[in-house]
Amino acid sequence: MFTKIRNTIANNPLFSAARLPLYVWLSLVSQILIVVTGGVVRLTGSGLGCPTWPKCTEDSLITVPEMGWHGVIEFANRLLTFVLALIALLTFIVIVRLGRKLNRGLFAPALILGLGIPAQAVLGGFTVWSQLNPWFVGAHFVLSAIMIAIASLLVFRALPPVHFAAPRSLWLTATPVAVVGAISVIIGVLVTGAGPHSGDAESIRNGLDLELWQHLHSYPAYVLILLVIAQAWILWKRDRWSKNFQTKAVLWLLVVLIGQAAIGVAQARLGVPPLLVGLHMLGAAVICSMLTFQWLAIRGKSRGSN
């Protein structure tokens, strides 16, 4: 039986090494997408569209007409977990088939991504059981942020760019950027838990002062922008922003951060409208990926050197 399965995998183009670039990018994109769809669930008030877990209702595994559109939205988000699991499985099988010499540095992140998906689902279940307790909701996003970072690491290692030695001034900025970025994201999670979009009209909030914590969130965010501007200046002095991975990672991070700051200011002044909150969540997910890429571009090792 195992021989038949092994032969089927060996002869199936789905498990070809040529598919690896597609799968690692799909892993990253899908991890970001599930943050966005989770935001849609919360911002449409559908957080308890399926009021229990793992079933949608006490008597049905799937949504029923009585649950209305809220049930459809919440159940659709749950189904996306299976898409992530399939992508993670395909990625892991392809990496295992590469052999130990070729999959060095790929096996561990691929395995962690695969194990993290059921962990996300279980934590989502606790979130439902707790009636959308904001601390569970926040923990769910933090786990997603970690998964996005791991998926970014997998992309970097599977498709390594040419390595460029960073000047010491640039090398020293990479970790502070990552740390300040993580602090900003975590405070943003606390702000979300204090905001009006709980996912259900009956759900509690975390009790923090929204206006105060919006200001506290802005401070590390602005420090982060200044640090990345410093990185961009160092790269400009080095090579006038030549088209290498370090420059692309830093400049794209700066663009996303400026856009995220603009959205953050706008949503605070406009009373936290759902559309802007959703865009801000997308921005936060992308920033988690870009923070990882900038660190890897500057301090990580990849093929070749100059």
The DSSP annotation for 196-240 comes to S--SSTT-------HHHHHHHHHHHHHHHHHHHHHHHHHHHHHHS
Calpha distance 47→57 (Å, rounded): 13
pLDDT for 67? 87
Calpha distance 95→20 (Å, rounded): 8
Q: Token pair for residue 303?
A: 């093929």
Per-residue pLDDT of the chain (306 residues; tens, 9 = 90+): 556 556 556 667 787 888 999 999 999 999 999 999 999 999 999 989 999 999 999 889 999 888 899 999 999 999 999 999 999 999 999 999 988 777 888 999 999 999 999 999 999 999 999 999 999 999 999 999 999 999 999 999 999 888 788 889 999 999 999 999 999 999 999 999 998 888 887 788 888 998 899 999 999 999 999 999 999 999 998 887 788 899 999 999 999 999 999 999 999 889 889 999 999 999 999 999 999 999 999 998 654 444
306: nearest Cα among 170, 168, 163 = 163
pLDDT for 14? 82
222: nearest Cα among 173, 270, 264, 189 = 264
DSSP 101: T
Fold of 8-159: A middle domain of Talin 1 (1.20.1420)
Calpha distance 251→259 (Å, rounded): 12
Write down the pTM of the prediction. 0.92
pLDDT for 306? 40
pLDDT for 303? 44
pLDDT for 11? 60
The amino acid sitting at 39 is: G
pLDDT for 302? 56
C-alpha count within 13 angstroms, C-beta hemisphere, residue 299: 16
